[in-house]
Amino acid sequence: MPRSTSRRGRAAALAAAAATAPAAVWVVHPVLSTVIAGLGAAAGLAVVITALFGSDRFSERAFRLLRWLADRPEPSKRDRG
């Protein structure tokens, strides 16, 4: 997968993919589309809740996933404390 040259480009691609899948399934079956959209929202909510309220190990992994999705670099060891 080629890397996007801008952060906004990657965010736009993720948002487009998240919106396109339920929209494409809506043509086949509206209820299935609602289920897929709900599962995506639940997965995103689970990552955010884990990042905020999880144990230190899981919280760090969730924040790393969010940084990866936003295409931001890992913080240096000095910044971690």
Q: Answer whether residue 32 is part of any domain.
A: yes
Range of the structural domain that residue 58 is part of: 26-73
**What is the rounded distance in angstroms from the CA atom of residue 58 to the CA atom of residue 46?**
11
pLDDT at 80: 54
Burial (0-12, 13-18, 19+ Cβ within 10 Å), 37: middle
Q: Answer whether residue 11 is part of any domain.
A: no
pLDDT level of residue 6 (50, 70, 90 thresholds): low
Q: Answer whether residue 63 is part of any domain.
A: yes
Q: Answer whether residue 55 is part of any domain.
A: yes
Residue 30, pLDDT > 90, answer no
- Scanning the structure block, which residue is given the tokens 């948002």? 15
pTM: 0.60
**What is the rounded distance in angstroms from the CA atom of residue 14 to the CA atom of residue 70?**
10
Rounded to 5 degrees, what are φ and ψ at 52? -85, -40
pLDDT at 70: 78
> Span 63-75, mean pLDDT?
82
> Span 40-57, mean pLDDT?
91
Amino acid at 66: L
Q: Answer whether residue 7 is part of any domain.
A: no
Domain count within the chain: 1
Q: Answer whether residue 10 is part of any domain.
A: no
Q: Answer whether residue 65 is part of any domain.
A: yes
- Scanning the structure block, which residue is given the tokens 């609602």? 34
Instruction: Please give the residue that has the higher pLDDT: either 43 or 21.
Output: 43
